[in-house]
Structure 1
Amino acid sequence: MQITRFGHAAVLVEVAGARILVDPGTFSVDETFALTGLDAIVVTHQHPDHLDQERLPPLLAGNPDAVLVCDPETAASVSVGEWIRNAEGLETAIGAASVRGVGAQHAVILPTLPRIANVGVLVSAPGEPTLFHPGDSYEHAPDGVDVLALPLAAPWAKTSETVDFAQRVAPATLFPVHDRTISDLAYGTYWGQVSGHAGVDDCRLVDQTGTFELSHN
């Protein structure tokens, strides 16, 4: 499995011959929207930092055969593409790989704001590690996660909750996502608290456009 960050929450997962892009949003780097050869584009929820609707059309045009997967609320907000429904427990085959939905709702930001849909995803393939991208929620900690894309900071989270979530998921490896909201000066504080207290031996500080590979032990 090869994992490449494309800024903030956008992650390209290459596994079992499939290229699966998750959450191409407004904080993603421009190169995200020039990607080609994608087999799937998956969106966890409709917030702009996870789905940039202005830059989405060229991405879809460059990947006409990609399977598009998101929750129904998000699908209703998008004016381009034919989107397959994602939901808790639903599994979508992407060649030899699969994407399975986890959860249903976005974390609470404020009690006065209605909660929208948020469906995290487990990306897996036979003989390969399983990656979990939760979108914007710490609610669910599925079993069997080898690598966690960990939201590092958000208006809906505090560091104690981030650490608790990582401990509950208990992956072999974690790396940060959802971190463009942190200033360069403060980044080390957030990362140091998570990497020092999550109880995960392999905490990888991956840059906004960094790449790494994992195999199933």
Structure 2
Amino acid sequence: MQITHLGHACLLVEVGDQRILIDPGSFSSFEDVDGLTAVVVTHQHADHLDPERGGALLAANPEARVLMEAETAATVADSGYADRVEVLGAGSTVELGSGEGAVTLTGVGERHADNHPYVPRVGNTGVVVRAAGEPVLYHPGDALDGEPGEVDLLAVPVSAPWGKVAEAIAFVRRLAPARGIVPIHDGLLNDRGRAMYLTHIGDFGAEGGVEVLDLRGAGATTV
């Protein structure tokens, strides 16, 4: 498995014979990404699905399956790519490819984390990526209550209007990823603030600490 962090919550996952892009939002850089077999969107917020660049991304990747949480799918009904959208719901699975290069995507969860009373909660379905002989990766979108089962790599939202570091630490401790965590949702932080968050989560995400696989700016990284 290779993972490229393209900024904020956007990950390019290359595993088996598949190239999967998760959450191409407004804080992320994905203009040159092509050859995709799937695009997964966990929820409708612009930092996870850029309404201005989403159409161009999908036009550049005409063979990619487009998998979205149900409410998100409804928001793009008037887009030029609505006929390509498939709903990825909680507990549902999608098979990409076949044979040794096949990948299974599984939806996890239904609701976005609670911001505050003045912002309505929206749907949110995270995704587990599985392929034979490869690490199991869970990208939760914007929710910390999902139940993905045993995972090797856990994408962890580092900073958000709806989150605090204590909740991120509890999330990591609860799911106890076997390999470590991949920081995401960090586009609101400067470098010093981000480093502080990663130190807290890494040092206290498990007894004795948890490995932090910081992929920001690292390019495609084999994990």
TM range (shorter): over 0.9
Structure-1 separation of matches of 2:80 and 2:167: 36
User: TM-score with structure 1 length normalisation?
Assistant: 0.94
Tell me the amino acid that sits aligned with residue 207 of structure 1: R
Which aligned runs of 4 or more in structure 1 are off by greater than 2 angstroms?
208-211
Counterpart position of 2:214: 205
Check 1:117–1:209 CA distance in 2 against 1; reply closer, same or farther (3 A cut).
farther
Does the 8 A contact of 1:45 with 1:71 survive in 2? yes
Aligned to 2:53: 55
Residue 183 of structure 2 aligns to a residue whose secondary structure is strand
Q: Choose which of 115, 133, 148 in structure 1 pairs with 2:139.
A: 133
Shift of 1:170: 0.7
1:57-96 to 2 correspondence within 5 Å? 57-78=55-76, 79-81=79-81, 82-95=84-97, 96=102
Task: State the match for 2:124 in structure 1.
Answer: 118
CA RMSD of aligned residues (A): 1.2
Q: What's the secondary structure of 2:169's corresponding residue?
A: helix
Amino acid at match of 1:55: R
Q: 3-state SS of the aligned residue for 1:50?
A: coil
Structure 1 runs not aligned, ≥5 long: none
1:34 counterpart SS class: coil
* Cα distance in 2, alignment partners of residues 12 and 163 from structure 1: 24
Deviation at 1:112? 3.1
Where does residue 10 of structure 1 map in the other structure?
10
The reply on whether 1:161 has 2:167 as its aligned counterpart is yes
Query: How far is 1:142 from its partner?
Result: 2.1
Alignment deviations for residues 50-69 of structure 1 (CA, whole Å, 9 cap, x no partner)? 00011112111111010000
Deviation per residue, 1:162-182 (Å, 9 max, x gap): 000011111122110000111
Q: Which stretches in structure 2 are left out of the alignment for 5+ residues?
A: none
CA contact (8 A) 2:198 2:212 kept: no
Map of 1:36-55 to 2, 5 A cutoff? 36-55=34-53
Q: Secondary structure at the match of 1:57?
A: helix
Q: Say whether the 8 Å CA contact 1:7–1:209 is kept in structure 2.
A: no
What count of residue pairs does the alignment treat as equivalent?
212
Instruction: Compute the displacement of 1:113 (Å).
Output: 2.3
Residues 89, 102 of structure 1: 8 Å contact kept:
yes
Between the aligned partners of 1:208 and 1:152, the Cα distance in structure 2 is: 16
Counterpart-to-counterpart distance in 2, 1:122 and 1:208: 23
Q: Which amino acid aligns with 1:206?
A: L
Residue-by-residue CA offset, 1:157-205 (whole Å, 9 max, x unaligned): 1110000001111112211000011122312211110111002542112
Q: Cα offset for 1:116?
A: 0.4
TM-score by length of 2: 0.91
1:174 maps to 2:172: no
Segment drifting more, 69-78 vs 198-207: 198-207
